[in-house]
Structures are given as structure tokens and as C-alpha cells.
Amino acid sequence: MALANEKDFCANCAHCIVVRRREGDADRYILRVRCDKNRWSKRSGDEKLYKYFTVARRIQLNCEDYQEMGELPHYVKNLKRELPIKDEIYTVKEYSPK
């Protein structure tokens, strides 16, 4: 857990997870990020999902469930550099035994 008034970068938290989100056809999906501790919610109470490439900017102030995964400055800087800048659509490939 962070000190008072310290920013917790969600991307550096063990509870920040990547999930598949169906896009159009049943065999196509995009990646989204969610908090498995349900810390991100809309005003309606529904869970908020973030685009995969925007997670490096997501922060919480003094999150009770924050579990740091690595050295913050290096990790977040690397994420900003390496994550794709737009949604990529993936296709599920069927398994065919040989």
C-alpha cells in the first residue's frame, strides 16, 4: 500500500489484469484491462474497462488493494513505450488435432 497522497499506478498493480472483449464476430476480440478488486466503476455502478494501451496512465490515490509488481518508474516508462497505440483485433484460431 502507498503512503498518504501517493499515486498508485494501476498498471503496476497485481490486480490490474488483461481480459478479452468480444468484438463483432464471436471469433474476434480486443484486449481490455480491468481491476480484479473492482476498484474501477462508472457512476452507474458498472465495471469500468480501459483500453489496453491507456492503462499506463491510470492511477488511484491510496488504493487499499495496491500490490506493486516492479520498480515503478522503469516499468511504467516501458509500458508507455511498448504498448500498441491503437486497438488491435485478434482472431481466435480453432484447435485442429493432427
pLDDT tens digits along 14-54: 999 999 888 887 789 988 999 999 988 888 989 899 987 78
| pTM for the whole structure | 0.73
User: In this predicted structure, what is the pLDDT of residue 17?
Assistant: 92
- Non-local CB neighbours of 51 within 8 Å, separated by 6+ positions: 32, 33, 87
CB 28 within 8 A of CB 88: no
Indicate if the pLDDT at residue 76 is higher than 60. Answer: yes
Mean pLDDT of the chain: 83
User: In this predicted structure, what is the pLDDT of residue 94?
Assistant: 65
